[in-house]
């Protein structure tokens, strides 16, 4: 039997960037609608077993009601509700269940939490967050059909899932964390509202991608260079250097001064000391650091597996034709 996990973050797309910028608001009704359309695509492909992350808003409820006679609905016993701990725990459970894939509704931050704990379960990340450099913007019906084709034919189409790199940070050789898209060293010495929207607080930035049409910190990289495969970009900011601008938030265009930048690959370990502030992972301040802390940053190969939805649709069309 095929098993599909569903993780929908009810808080995604609702942070402070709705106040300081022009971030869109993805309502819970729309998130529920996305889940229903995704499930519809999979039901059409004959998938019946779905494992939902429960939430207080009941994002799962419309799809369960609509397909109550066609699917087997299971709820993940996450022990937490509507917070990062729940997303982390749900990811672990879906990994333990060896689901064939997992739908993730959220932005870069939500997908980061999932990636840390999902193991080899392929992710279908659909954007409902603020900065969506990692998740894709696609109709969930198409995503459901694509996921259904892949999981029913994965022995012949293993190449439809691709492993993404990630940035790893180790603090004092003890604490370890990751970022999928961007890792920033901020001179703000408190986590606060987490989200970064003021470039003046960033001392250094590390990127795995530099998409010229993305919004967020990753857009800065596209003004400097195209990041080759198997590489990451390191940027140092200052008061003197190259002046650029970038859309670091929805409707928020900022001027920046680039002191220097460099590309680096998997074999390089960047060691830093003497920084006071916070580490932001995928746009959100997560860890407070002090000058005594020793930091090591590196690019790693073994990140999350992600389904190439568009290629899956293309291959199904060719598969059926042949």
pLDDT (0 to 100) of residue 20: 47
Query: Residue 35 maps to which CATH number?
Result: 3.40.50.10330
Is pLDDT larger for residue 192 or for residue 170?
A: 170
pTM of the entire predicted model: 0.91
Mean pLDDT of all residues belonging to the chain: 90
Q: How many domains does the chain have?
A: 2
pLDDT (0 to 100) of residue 45: 96
Same domain, 153 and 52: yes
Query: To which residue do tokens 């899932």 refer?
Result: 161
Same domain, 44 and 157: yes
Same domain, 100 and 233: no
Same domain, 273 and 284: yes
pLDDT (0 to 100) of residue 111: 95
Same domain, 196 and 142: no
Distance CA 159, CA 152 (A): 14
Residue 201: phi and psi, rounded to 5, are -90, 0
Residue 234, H or E segment: strand 232-249
Inform me whether the pLDDT recorded for 52 exceeds 70: yes
Query: Residue 249 maps to which CATH number?
Result: 2.60.200.30
Same domain, 141 and 78: yes
Distance CA 184, CA 197 (A): 12
261-286 pLDDT per residue, tens: 999 999 999 999 999 999 999 988 88
Inform me whether the pLDDT recorded for 18 exceeds 50: no
Same domain, 264 and 200: yes
Is pLDDT larger for residue 191 or for residue 122?
A: 122
Give the model's confidence band at 200: pLDDT under 50 very low, under 70 low, under 90 confident, else very high: confident
pLDDT (0 to 100) of residue 117: 95
Mean pLDDT, residues 99-111: 95
Same domain, 187 and 88: no
Give the model's confidence band at 81: pLDDT under 50 very low, under 70 low, under 90 confident, else very high: confident
Nearest to 64 by CA among 115, 8, 12: 8
Which burial class, exposed, middle or buried, applies to 321 when counting CB atoms under 10 A from its CB (0-12, 13-18, 19+)? exposed
> In the structure, how many helices (H) and strands (E) does the chain have?
8, 17
CA 297 to chain centre: 19
Same domain, 150 and 218: no
Same domain, 198 and 133: no
Same domain, 114 and 158: yes
Where in the sequence is the domain holding 120, given as residue range(s)?
3-164+303-321
Same domain, 12 and 153: yes
């Amino acid at each position: 039997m095929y098993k599909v996990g569903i993780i929908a973050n009810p808080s995604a797309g609702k942070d402070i960037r709705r106040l300081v910028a022009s971030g869109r608001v993805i309502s819970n009704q729309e998130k529920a609608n996305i889940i229903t359309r995704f499930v519809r695509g999979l039901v059409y492909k004959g998938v019946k077993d779905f494992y939902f992350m429960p939430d207080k808003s009941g994002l799962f409820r419309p799809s369960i009601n609509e397909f109550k006679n066609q699917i087997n609905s299971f709820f993940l016993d996450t022990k937490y509700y509507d917070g990062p701990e729940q997303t982390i725990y749900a990811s672990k459970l879906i990994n333990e269940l060896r689901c064939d894939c997992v739908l993730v509704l959220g932005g870069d931050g939500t997908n980061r939490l999932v990636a840390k704990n999902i193991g080899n379960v392929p992710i279908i990340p659909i954007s409902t967050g603020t900065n969506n450099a990692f998740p894709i913007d696609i109709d969930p019906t198409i995503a459901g059909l694509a996921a259904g084709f892949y999981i029913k034919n994965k022995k012949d189409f293993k190449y439809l899932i691709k492993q993404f790199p990630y940035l790893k940070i180790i603090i004092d050789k003890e604490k370890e964390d990751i970022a999928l898209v961007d890792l920033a060293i901020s001179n703000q010495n408190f986590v606060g509202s987490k989200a970064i929207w003021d470039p003046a607080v960033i001392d250094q930035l590390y990127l795995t991608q530099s998409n010229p049409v993305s919004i967020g910190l990753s857009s800065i990289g596209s003004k400097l260079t195209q990041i080759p495969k198997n590489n990451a970009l390191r940027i140092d900011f200052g008061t003197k250097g190259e002046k650029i601008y970038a859309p670091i938030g929805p409707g928020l265009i900022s001027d920046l001064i680039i002191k220097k930048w460099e590309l680096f690959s998997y074999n390089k370990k960047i060691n830093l000391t003497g920084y006071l502030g916070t580490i932001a992972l995928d746009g959100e301040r997560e860890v407070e650091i002090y000058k005594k802390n020793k930091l090591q940053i590196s690019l790693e190969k073994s990140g999350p597996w992600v389904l190439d939805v568009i290629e899956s649709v293309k291959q199904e069309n060719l598969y059926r034709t042949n």
